[in-house]
Structure 1
Amino acid sequence: MIQGKSVLAIIPARGGSKGVPQKNIRYLSGKPLIAWTIQEAKKSNYIDRIVVSTDDERIAEVANSWGAEVPFMRPPELAQDNTPGMAPILHAMKMIPGYDYIVELQPTSPLRTVEDIDSCLEQCIEQNVDSCVSVTLTDKSPYWMYSLSECKELIPVITKNNTITRRQDSPDVFVLNGAVFVAKSAWLEHTGNFLHEETIGFVMPKERSIDLDTTLDFALAEAIIKEEKRSEWQ
């Protein structure tokens, strides 16, 4: 609990990953991908219950073995390629009602730490807002992005400020990193989304913001973890 408010953590993990088959239980540096998220969530000072929403029996077994609950299996219609990302979260909230705050933790963010989770919750509470989500500085500023016309002409994505001529002068731009989503339950049920006009951002460093979607992402995460271990030994 945090300031007397109960907290439910939901880890969405469907079995039908296309890019990397069985991605959520693929091994990363010696343990299943989903285990990284479960372990950090278990360290939280505030999370009261950790549940995994999955349609896959193998994922359910792995999640249970690492200490998360799988109190229900996700219906097949909520585990399709075109299923909206919020659908499994709202379904889990209906299956397990009664919590004041919801924290969504996607298993594809294995480098997120318990400090990130708890700090995002604390920021949401301290600023008395309805929702707080994790973000990180983007490497590619939209001020230097273009679309192409049929004739291959460059069309600026952002045209409001054409006075920026140097990359160093462009303002900081943040992107969702998918690591931590926090919201008041009643508000989330009403809006149906963590992202709204009231949502604020919790800034995470780039090195903990990697989102695993491809085999190349797994290789990068492996390299980061090995480098961190090497630094700890020195």
Structure 2
Amino acid sequence: MAILCVIGARGGSTGLRNKNIRPLLGKPLIAWSIEQAQQTPGIDRIVVSTDNDDIAAVARRCGADVPFRRPAELATTTAAKFPVWQHALAEAECFYGKAFDTVVDLDCTCPLRDVADISGAIERLRQRREDGVDMVMGVADALRNPYFNILEAGENGFLRPSKPLPSAVVCRQDAPRVFTHAGNLYVMTADYLRRSQGLLDGHVEGYDVGSGKAFDIDDELGFAVVEFLMRRKLGVGATADTGEVRTDG
């Protein structure tokens, strides 16, 4: 497979200014995703899709290519991922002079995923594409379940399960399994990306990354949560007086 990795990082973040290049444990946030892509066997090219010069400069220093700029209409707060991917694929194929058959997207606000997750999702798509699977995306067990403890108001204003079943579900274990869209990992065929208009237009399978990795950074709280989890995952801490990162043990 000829695999293109796309890392999207627009400059106009409103929830947390400059979050994509904000330092996280001593390196820019985007660097974590670039390094994961570099460590994943089979990925041929790594491109960063951005509209921002500062992000582009950081991405290049980290070893990614930035061969194009994302158009302004694809860098708004309401822009969807799918056309951003389509633009990146077309521009990358033009720049490199080759066609890719697989596209991987790594969201740079989700550094908790592992290289093994990326490799596993790539392998899953390789095994399942002949069965008609178009995309494999990161998911995790949802913390709340619409059959059990997600509620909505009925016409009379009284609460009820969002997705009621013929028999009431009285314990979480009896509810049908539902997933959180982790947003951290997407692996798709290039043909699917070229012909489709949205994320779930085709046959999409989930790849369970585990609930401990299904966190992203959108605001200060999200940054603090991810930073805490990254410290625990990597076994690093910070001294109380300087904030200097140290390795435990």
TM-score, normalised by the number of residues in structure 2: 0.87
1:29 Cα shift? 1.3
**In the alignment, residue 199 of structure 1 is paired with which amino acid?**
V
- 1:78-157 alignment to 2 at 5 Å? 78-97=74-93, 98-128=99-129, 129-143=133-147, 144-148=149-153, 152-157=157-162
Which of 130-139 and 46-55 deviates more?
130-139
Equivalent in the alignment of 2:57: 61
Q: Name the SS of the counterpart of 1:127 in structure 2.
A: helix
Evaluate the alpha carbon distance shift between residue 230 and residue 182 of structure 1 in structure 2; reply closer, same or farther with a 3 A threshold: closer
1:89-142 superposed Cα distances (whole Å, 9 cap, x missing partner): 111111122101011111111111111111100001112222111101111111
Q: What is the CA–CA distance in structure 2 between the aligned matches of 1:175 and 1:161, rounded to whole Å?
A: 24
Evaluate the alpha carbon distance shift between residue 163 and residue 149 of structure 1 in structure 2; reply closer, same or farther with a 3 A threshold: closer
Backbone CA RMSD of aligned residues: 1.7
1:14-64 superposed Cα distances (whole Å, 9 cap, x missing partner): 000100011111111111111110010000101000000000000000111
**1:228 and 2:228 correspond:** no
Number of aligned pairs? Answer: 230
Contact 1:135 1:201 in 2 (8 A): yes
Q: What is the CA–CA distance in structure 1 between the aligned matches of 2:180 and 2:53, rounded to whole Å?
A: 33
Which of 65-74 and 128-137 deviates more?
128-137
- 1:7-86 alignment to 2 at 5 Å? 7-86=3-82
Q: What is the CA–CA distance in structure 2 between the aligned matches of 1:99 and 1:197, rounded to whole Å?
A: 19
Structure 2 unmatched runs, 5+: 94-98, 237-246
1:171 Cα shift? 2.5
1:152 Cα shift? 4.2
What is the percentage of aligned positions where both structures have the same residue?
36
Q: Name the SS of the counterpart of 1:86 in structure 2.
A: helix
1:149 Cα shift? 5.1
1:233 Cα shift? 4.2
**In the alignment, residue 33 of structure 1 is paired with which amino acid?**
L
Equivalent in the alignment of 2:241: none
**In the alignment, residue 177 of structure 2 is paired with which amino acid?**
D
Equivalent in the alignment of 1:181: 186
1:193 Cα shift? 3.0
Contact 2:85 2:193 in 1 (8 A): no
Q: What is the CA–CA distance in structure 2 between the aligned matches of 1:229 and 1:84, rounded to whole Å?
A: 32
Structure 1 unmatched runs, 5+: none
TM-score, normalised by the number of residues in structure 1: 0.92
**In the alignment, residue 53 of structure 2 is paired with which amino acid?**
E
1:173 Cα shift? 1.4
**In the alignment, residue 80 of structure 1 is paired with which amino acid?**
T
**In the alignment, residue 112 of structure 1 is paired with which amino acid?**
R
